[in-house]
Amino acid sequence: MDVSELQPVRDFVSSLPPFDILSDQSLRLCCISLSVVYYSRNEQFVEVDANERQLYIVRSGAFEVLTEQGQLIDRISDGQYFGFSGMLSGEKVVNKVRILEDALVYLLPVKIFDQLRAASRQFDRFFNQAFAQRLRHQGAIKSKNINTSRISSVVSADLISIGSSTTIQQAAELMSEKRVSSLLIIDNNKLNGIITDRDLRSRVLAKGLDGQTLVKQVMTTDPLTSPKNALIFEAMLQMSENSIHHLPIIEDGRPTGMLTSTDIMRSQSSQPLLLIGQIGRQNSQEELIAVSRQIPQLLQNLISSDAQAQEIGRILTSVTDALTRRLITISQNELGEAPMQFCWLAFGSQARQDQVAGADQDNALLLEFEPDPGAQLYFQALSQAVCTGLNACGYSYCPGDIMATNQKWQLSLKQWENEFSKWVNTPQPAALLNATIFFDIRCIFGSYSLFESLQNKVLNKTKDNDIFLAAMTDNALQQSPPLGFFRDFVLERDGSEVKGIDLKHKGTALINDITRIYALAAGIKEVNTHKRLVLLKKSKFINHQDAHNLIDACEFIARKRLSNQGYQYSHSQQLSNYLQPQNLSALARHQLKDAFKAVHEAQAGIKLKFLRQF
């Protein structure tokens, strides 16, 4: 770009995040490297040269980013960007860009873009997060819902790998031959790492290493992985939250393939991911409230898609997690940086990732240290803003005040350890009530190391603790499935004159209690009930058939609870956990009785295992 034109360009570019954090030297390099192009809306689409990747910086005008099939992903206008997805993934760009208005655009070459990313971690993080959001915002374009699709449906069956003792040149030749952007590094059928084309650029070429350098010297060791039967939805969240674009796939402990961000983009996204993406773009509580109005319809869509109940729970909880994180971020933008490390904790259904309609809040704060008065004011303001926002978004305040706004639950790591110790060592009725809530715990935002330290201490106290587990078992047996002496349903009132079957307190909650006791006894960190049961079955802590029966019963009862709420919503009825048995077919009644019978037998099992010596 001509030097005489540099100042107005510099003024504009330097006002845009993340260019506004660049050094003067980097900003000058950027501006002199830009070229300018004018697009007329009569041209309809931007012609992208696949061999000349660039960052498109919109000075004026408007564009739409579309999938290969023409579905809308995003709209771009003044001060926004496109083109970064291909540069970050290194893979073929399949999206199209439609010109909505006459536009003036600055083009930044990929070489300079990579230099700026290497020079500034914040600059690099900005575009990685933007790419993660773009990944989430892909529109739903296939009749088959991605949220109920498995990784196995999109990942290639070809295992492309190389050994760690081969050379970089051999790796590059194999990547070129197979036309892939990454390789699995496998030795003796064990995954030791991965290497990507970005690694070749940043760890080999940029460091001046030659082609005879061994792969093991530059590969990424201990990469994140995913099982082959995991949901595409979960893999997408895992990749976007960790700013990675390649995810090794594992089956029975052995690597079987690589899932890339391009695989996901080609498979298309859907409404929940679009909703999570929208949440991430909002900048005020009011905007989040407006977006959250889509959640009831999302639940209806998931129920009608015939998704499994456990999958619906995980998807709905992912939306709750996204709302919580965004509310925290918006609040911190106003309050400033926290005075110490902290972790926002979720309990109950959000922790277990089995939320349904009408979920209330169960949350708290885990702090690095005991707060002084100034820190107390900060965390009180933060928790007040977040909990108020969640309530406005449809997650009502906890009736028992188990919320971060309650200073009783704004505790340091040491204080939380003391609380759990009291509950475990003196399992009185109040402590046991807390155990049913607080022992299902998950980190939503903040320092995961703080959370992990607390979780490890808690499990060390509960594992093989006969007295505590016996007390937990006795408490869990105070409720029983709604089956009468002749195996007919026992009906209860739901607060009105209508009688029904309480699917939550006499169904799923009992399964959660049973599974939690086994998990605490076994020292299992997982808190999702389905995943706990799978791990307990694998470790043979529970009889294989008993675990299988509980998994089936949990899914069936939860599915009936969801479908019943779907029916209530579509008929403008108040949502509840009560099912009227006259609305069931003869087959469904029989299946529900079998499910409750499995719960009854599981209760007998924990009684025998944990109460026999008392």
| CATH at 379 | 3.30.460.10
Token couple for 381: 């303001």
CA distance 73 to 132: 13
Q: Is the pLDDT of residue 145 over 80?
A: no
252 and 280 co-located in one domain:
no
Q: Is the pLDDT of residue 613 over 70?
A: no
- The larger pLDDT score, comparing residue 514 to residue 426, is at 514
507 and 601 co-located in one domain:
yes
Please give the pLDDT value at position 139. 38
Please give the pLDDT value at position 143. 36
CA distance 328 to 320: 12
* For residues 208-229, average pLDDT: 90
* For residues 414-441, average pLDDT: 87
233 and 309 co-located in one domain:
no
Determine, yes or no, domain membership for 132. no
pLDDT > 70: what percent of the chain? Answer: 90
Sorted by sequence, the CB contacts under 8 Å of residue 482 that are 6+ apart come out as 489, 490, 491, 492, 501, 502, 506, 507, 596
CB 438 within 8 A of CB 408: no
Determine, yes or no, domain membership for 440. yes
- The larger pLDDT score, comparing residue 460 to residue 496, is at 460
Phi first, then psi: what are they for 557, rounded to 5°? -65, -45
Q: Is the pLDDT of residue 492 over 60?
A: yes
Determine, yes or no, domain membership for 129. no
What SS3 class is residue 471? Answer: helix
154 and 91 co-located in one domain:
no
CA distance 408 to 398: 14
Question: Other CB atoms closer than 10 Å to residue 124's CB: what's the count?
Answer: 18
Q: Give the torsion through C-alpha atoms of 75, 76, 80, 84, to 10 deg.
A: 80
* For residues 575-579, average pLDDT: 86
Most confident range (mean pLDDT) of 420-429, 430-439, 509-518 is: 509-518
Q: Is the pLDDT of residue 288 over 90?
A: yes
Please give the pLDDT value at position 602. 94
Determine, yes or no, domain membership for 469. no
453 and 492 co-located in one domain:
no
What SS3 class is residue 223? Answer: coil
CB 342 within 8 A of CB 379: yes
Sheet strand arrangement including 254-260: 226-227, 246-251, 254-260
428 and 310 co-located in one domain:
yes
* For residues 500-508, average pLDDT: 91
199 and 104 co-located in one domain:
no
Taking CA atoms, 171 is separated from 90, 99, 196, 315, in Å, by 16, 40, 10, 38
Please give the pLDDT value at position 149. 66
Question: Other CB atoms closer than 10 Å to residue 119's CB: what's the count?
Answer: 14
Per-residue confidence band for 486, with pLDDT thresholds at 50, 70 and 90: low
Taking CA atoms, 571 is separated from 115, 558, 568, in Å, by 58, 20, 5
Please give the pLDDT value at position 434. 79
CB 365 within 8 A of CB 380: no
CA distance 259 to 569: 38
**How far is residue 595 CA from its own chain's centroid?**
30
Domain end marker among 221, 244, 267? 267
Token couple for 368: 């690095």
CATH number at residue 202: 3.10.580.10
Please give the pLDDT value at position 148. 53
Please give the pLDDT value at position 19. 94
CA distance 276 to 233: 11
Token couple for 592: 């529900």
Please give the pLDDT value at position 125. 84
* For residues 232-255, average pLDDT: 82
CATH number at residue 96: 2.60.120.10
What SS3 class is residue 451? Answer: helix
Sorted by sequence, the CB contacts under 8 Å of residue 109 that are 6+ apart come out as 33, 52, 54
Please give the pLDDT value at position 144. 40
Angle between helices 509-522 and 586-610 (to 10 degrees): 30
Predicted confidence (pLDDT) per residue in 109-134, tens digit: 999 999 999 888 889 888 887 777 66
CB 163 within 8 A of CB 185: yes
Instruction: Tell me the one-letter amino acid at 262.
Output: T
421 and 483 co-located in one domain:
no
Predicted confidence (pLDDT) per residue in 379-416, tens digit: 999 999 999 999 999 999 999 899 999 999 999 999 99
Predicted confidence (pLDDT) per residue in 26-73, tens digit: 999 999 999 999 999 888 899 877 667 899 999 998 888 887 767 777
Determine, yes or no, domain membership for 138. no
Token couple for 325: 């994180």
432 and 371 co-located in one domain:
yes
Return the exposure string of 571-591: e unless at least 16 CB atoms fall within 10 Å of the residue's CB, then b.
Answer: eeeeebbbbeeeebeeeeeeb
Map tokens 């791990």 to a residue: 535
Task: Name residue 98's beta-bridge partners.
Answer: 45, 64
Instruction: Tell me the one-letter amino acid at 591.
Output: Q
Q: Quick one: 338 exposed, middle or buried, by C-beta within 10 A (0-12, 13-18, 19+)? A: middle
Please give the pLDDT value at position 269. 40
355 and 434 co-located in one domain:
yes
CB 272 within 8 A of CB 315: yes
Question: To the nearest whole number, what is the mean pLDDT of the chain?
Answer: 86
Predicted confidence (pLDDT) per residue in 457-474, tens digit: 999 999 888 999 999 999
- The larger pLDDT score, comparing residue 546 to residue 262, is at 546
CA distance 594 to 316: 28
Please give the pLDDT value at position 533. 94
Determine, yes or no, domain membership for 354. yes
Residue 21 per-residue DSSP state: G
Per-residue confidence band for 171, with pLDDT thresholds at 50, 70 and 90: very high
Domain end marker among 415, 433, 462? 462
CB 614 within 8 A of CB 606: no
The domain in which residue 152 lies consists of: 146-267
Please give the pLDDT value at position 136. 53
Q: Is the pLDDT of residue 373 over 90?
A: yes
| Structural domains in the chain (count) | 4
CA distance 354 to 405: 23
Domain end marker among 221, 250, 267? 267
State the maximum Cα–Cα separation within the chain, in Å, rounded to a whole number. 91
* For residues 275-294, average pLDDT: 88
Determine, yes or no, domain membership for 175. yes
377 and 309 co-located in one domain:
yes
Instruction: Please report which helix (H) or strand (E) contains residue 91, including its range.
Output: none
* For residues 516-530, average pLDDT: 94
Determine, yes or no, domain membership for 335. yes
CB 364 within 8 A of CB 404: yes
* For residues 501-518, average pLDDT: 93
Phi first, then psi: what are they for 580, rounded to 5°? -85, 120
CB 459 within 8 A of CB 520: yes
CATH number at residue 577: 1.20.120
* For residues 227-240, average pLDDT: 80
Predicted confidence (pLDDT) per residue in 351-372, tens digit: 999 998 778 999 999 999 999 9
54 and 35 co-located in one domain:
yes
Per-residue confidence band for 4, with pLDDT thresholds at 50, 70 and 90: low
